């Protein structure tokens, strides 16, 4: 719930309506705002995406666990346990990576030799650069792995239109990360995912509806669900856990096999041929509260539903009005 208030200062404080814990009550979010760096070029679309198994054909963390760690059978059981809410993603993922004892630089070399991009991602990458579509990689993996693989597989340093937000790698017990058992994952935040991807998207979802870009997301796993709920359209990879989770949670999604269909749909959205941006629905609420003069002041609230987790409100105070509530007719 995001609030923007213009209540008169002559009355007592309005009754408390809590905004989302991560954002201020009056967010300074405007197109081109430095507070929201992905808006600096005034894009019409921002594309948020998972990395492993979404941009790449294989999952780099699964590859390390299966071939260098405790193996695929135990990993698959942990994935099942996460889906059944028996264990958090954070704990299961740490167990997976802790089973890999190879030096970190050796892990990177092995991944360079075995990972492959989706055959159509490079086309999307260059199209996005030419058409002012920021790409934001939100991953439960690790920044140095993702950066290394993207630069290796694209064949050049990353361009400014792509940003990576993920976990980091740190020394284990003060050891050199490039020695056996010397590294471990450093989680992005304290969430049960280790990296709550929705935190990066929420400020953009809170931008006023008529000013914000269309927000898209592509993913394949359970860690993508929180991020997907903040965007206008979710691309979920065929045959992967995210679809299972979406079906269970009632989350709408669009299936993709590869990035060719994502590119085609994103082109249609950018051109205006296809509209997926969530519709607003205005709700006007009024309530009374005591002011300093001993009379009743009434606060009129207009709420615009953008998505279940983002509610933008504007306030207009007016004195001596009866308490009431007005709902839209449809």
Domain holding 221: CATH number? Answer: 3.40.50.1000
pTM of the model: 0.76
Domain total in the chain:
1
In a domain, 119, yes or no: yes
What is the pLDDT, as a whole number, of residue 147?
A: 98
Mean pLDDT by 10 residues, the chain (330 residues): 35 32 37 75 98 97 98 95 90 97 98 98 99 98 98 98 98 97 97 92 94 96 84 94 87 95 98 83 43 43 41 38 40
For residue 281, being part of any structural domain is answered with no
Domain holding 155, by residue range, is: 37-271
Is residue 298 in some structural domain?
no
Instruction: Tell me if 301 is assigned to some domain.
Output: no
Residue 98 falls in the annotated catalytic set: no
100 beta partners: none
Q: Is residue 165 part of a domain?
A: yes
How far apart are alpha carbons 44 and 240 in whole angstroms?
A: 29
Token code pair at residue 192? 């049960």
Q: Which of 50, 66, 118, 232 is catalytic?
A: 50
210 is catalytic: no
In a domain, residue 153? The reply is: yes
Give the DSSP H or E segment for 288: strand 282-290
Catalytic residue among 52, 66, 118, 232: 52
Q: Is residue 321 part of a domain?
A: no
- Residue whose entry in the numeric block shows the structure tokens 């058409």: 131
What is the rounded CA–CA span in Å between residue 2 and residue 21?
10
Cα–Cα separations (whole angstroms), residue 150 to 105, 144, 215, 240, 315: 16, 10, 23, 22, 46
In sequence order, which residues have a C-beta less than 8 Å from that of residue 248 and are 6 or more positions away? none
**Within a domain: 191:** yes
Q: Provide the pLDDT for residue 179.
A: 98
The confidence score (pLDDT) of residue 34 equals: 54
């Amino acid at each position: 719930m995001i609030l923007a208030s213009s209540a008169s200062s002559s009355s007592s404080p309005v009754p408390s309506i809590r905004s989302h814990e991560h954002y201020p009550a009056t967010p300074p979010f405007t197109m081109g705002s430095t507070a929201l760096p992905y808006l600096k070029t005034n894009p019409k679309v921002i594309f948020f995406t998972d990395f492993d198994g979404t941009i790449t054909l294989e999952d780099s963390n699964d590859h390390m666990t299966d071939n260098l760690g405790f193996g695929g059978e135990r990993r698959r059981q942990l994935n099942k346990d996460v889906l059944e809410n028996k264990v958090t993603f954070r704990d299961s993922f740490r167990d997976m990576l802790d089973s890999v004892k190879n030096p970190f630089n050796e892990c990177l070399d092995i991944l360079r030799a075995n990972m492959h991009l989706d055959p159509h991602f490079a086309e999307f990458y260059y199209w996005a650069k030419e058409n002012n579509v920021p790409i934001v990689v939100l991953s439960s993996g690790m920044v140095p792995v993702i950066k290394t693989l993207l630069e290796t597989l694209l064949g050049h340093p990353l361009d400014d239109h792509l940003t990576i937000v993920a976990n980091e790698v740190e020394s284990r017990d003060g050891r050199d990360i490039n020695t056996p058992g010397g590294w471990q994952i450093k989680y992005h935040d304290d969430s049960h995912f280790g990296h709550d991807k929705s935190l990066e998207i929420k400020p953009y979802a809170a931008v006023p509806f008529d000013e914000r870009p269309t927000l898209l997301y592509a993913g394949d796993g359970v860690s993508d669900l929180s991020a997907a709920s903040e965007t206008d359209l979710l691309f979920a990879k065929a045959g992967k856990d995210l679809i299972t989770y979406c079906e269970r949670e009632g989350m709408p999604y669009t299936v993709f096999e590869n990035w060719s269909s994502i590119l085609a749909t994103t082109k249609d959205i950018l051109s205006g041929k296809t509209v997926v941006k969530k519709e607003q629905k205005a709700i006007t609420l009024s309530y009374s509260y005591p002011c300093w003069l001993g009379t009743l002041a009434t606060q009129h609230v207009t709420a615009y539903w953008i998505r279940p987790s983002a509610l933008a409100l504007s306030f207009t105070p007016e004195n001596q009005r009866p308490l009431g509530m007005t709902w839209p007719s449809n």
